[in-house]
Amino acid sequence: MNEISVGVGPLSAADVVSVARHGARLTLSHEALGEISKSRQVIENLADDVVPHYGVSTGFGALATRHIPLDLRAQLQRSLVRSHAAGSGPEVEREVVRALMLLRLSTLATGRTGVRPETAQAYADLLNAGITPVVHEYGSLGCSGDLAPLAHCALAVMGEGQVRNADGELMPAADALAAAGLTPVTLHEKEGLALINGTDGMLGQLVMAAADLRMLLRTADIAAAMSVEGQLGTDRVFAADLQALRPHPGQASSAANLTALLADSAIVASHRGPECTRVQDAYSLRCTPQVHGTARDTLAHAETVADRELASAIDNPVVTPDGRVESNGNFHGAPVAAVLDFLAISVADLASLSERRTDRFLDVARNHGLNAFLADDPGVDSGHMIAQYTQAGIVSELKRLAAPASVDSIPSSAMQEDHVSMGWAAARKLRRAIDGLTRVVAVEILTAARALDLRAPLTPSPATAAVVAGLREHVEGPGTDRYLAPEIEFAVQYVAEGRALAAAESVTGKLG
């Protein structure tokens, strides 16, 4: 894995995933260190000014009218971080904390925040040492930045609070820093503020959610193809000329995937002749490209927003390139919050369609000759009856998670911060939603694989056969009822780790 250079320009989404999930090491570029030093000089020139400057010689938020004397300014920065490290609830995942620290460092590297080079370097050192501050589920309103999550990270750089070391052991930050040979940072004017004013928590989660959904969307197409095939559906509705009549790019990509996945299927070919009396398939089969395509187009928009945010330097106040120090509202999380909520809606819709396709397999009135619930001996055996219940429970939860967080706002800081984005909450529920979608798609693949086996001696397409073969390495084919939970969990990992997708793409090539 290449070392990632954090410079004055934007990180890529791939950079964020590499550092957050895979522990890639990073360095601060020489250009970034130069810009940091240049803007720091601007802040130091203001430190002795008799005119108050927000974040340098004043209090914060509703307390911004208080002028802070020189001998109290170091305490001001420490007090800011300590008081804002007010999170509560379960610990946030390590990858989320690493992503938000990296993204805060990326903004520091632009030279627009006025921190000292050693403060920026402290973030890089913490990440490279694998030290992860303990950040809690609750505390951010998504405005004035992800204040509490970022404050817990700043607290660790100061040598205070709790962290987990590279081995995951919980310990005081001071002990972890000492063990890694790192020195706690004493914050100077404006630095505490610069470390907590950003959308980094919600943005990091958006970037990782987008990466997960890119893979899941292709896997959902695989599950759908298996269902179309197993339910004796037609692939003719996915033809490119029909899709071109409604030229949404995501729809075209999904339809092209379905066509490729179903190519050379003996099952599909078996009912193409005039003896087949079915005029058209149910919506859950026929309209797959329209629903899956909508999610793709939504994701494309979300990725555009993420790219813009990755290119942003968010702080308040900022040091402009011409040396001014200006207040602004760029820390408001609205752009990120809205697309996080939008993605949660698409996730719920994808899962809902997947559950409906699965349910059709289990009903003898709709499954075209298969046993009830795909059971070996219906009545004695229940087959996949309760697997669909599991799907249904998850889908119901996903519908609740699709209710947008970003429409809510609770005023804070004595009405100074009177409209907030709730973007952190939107990000947290999207992570849960993506986990749910993964499980729903996995159950569809597990169920469709059983149905394809039951269509023997007719054979599935080479692509879907490869997916079934990968599943069968650990999950037996049709038979009497077995302990089903471990099989579902294997299917979940098969999907989540990208192995189902890799199996299909070993035949089709890269899907769109």
Q: Which residues are catalytic?
A: 54
Q: CA 492, CA 511: separation in Å to the nearest integer?
A: 20
Q: Give the residue from 38, 40, 27 showing the smallest Cα distance to 191.
A: 40
Q: Give the residue from 253, 339, 241, 244 showing the smallest Cα distance to 288.
A: 253
Q: CA 503, CA 129: separation in Å to the nearest integer?
A: 36
Q: CA 345, CA 329: separation in Å to the nearest integer?
A: 28
Angle at 152 between CA 311 and CA 14, to 5 degrees: 35
Phi, psi of 86 (to 5 degrees): -115, 30
| Torsion (CA) 303, 299, 396, 452 in degrees, nearest 10 | -130
- Residue 283 CA neighbour count, 13 Å, CB half: 6
Which runs of consecutive H residues, i.e. helices, occur in 158-199?
173-179, 191-196
Q: Give the residue from 345, 442, 336, 351 showing the smallest Cα distance to 401.
A: 345
Q: CA 149, CA 133: separation in Å to the nearest integer?
A: 9
Q: How many other CB atoms are there within 10 angstroms of residue 67's CB atom?
A: 12
Phi, psi of 297 (to 5 degrees): -70, -35
Q: How many other CB atoms are there within 10 angstroms of residue 409's CB atom?
A: 15
Q: CA 141, CA 4: separation in Å to the nearest integer?
A: 31
Q: CA 419, CA 141: separation in Å to the nearest integer?
A: 9
Both tokens of 214, joined, read 């890119």
Q: CA 237, CA 82: separation in Å to the nearest integer?
A: 60
Both tokens of 364, joined, read 């003898």
Helix or strand or coil: residue 137? strand
Helix or strand or coil: residue 226? helix
Both tokens of 377, joined, read 């001996």
- Residue 409 is given by DSSP the state -
Q: Cβ neighbours of residue 199 under 8 Å, at least 6 residues apart?
A: 142, 145, 146, 309, 312, 314, 331, 333, 336, 423
Q: Are strands 26-28 and 4-6 parallel, antiparallel or unpaired?
A: parallel
Q: How far from the centroid of its chain's Cα atoms is residue 273's Cα?
A: 45
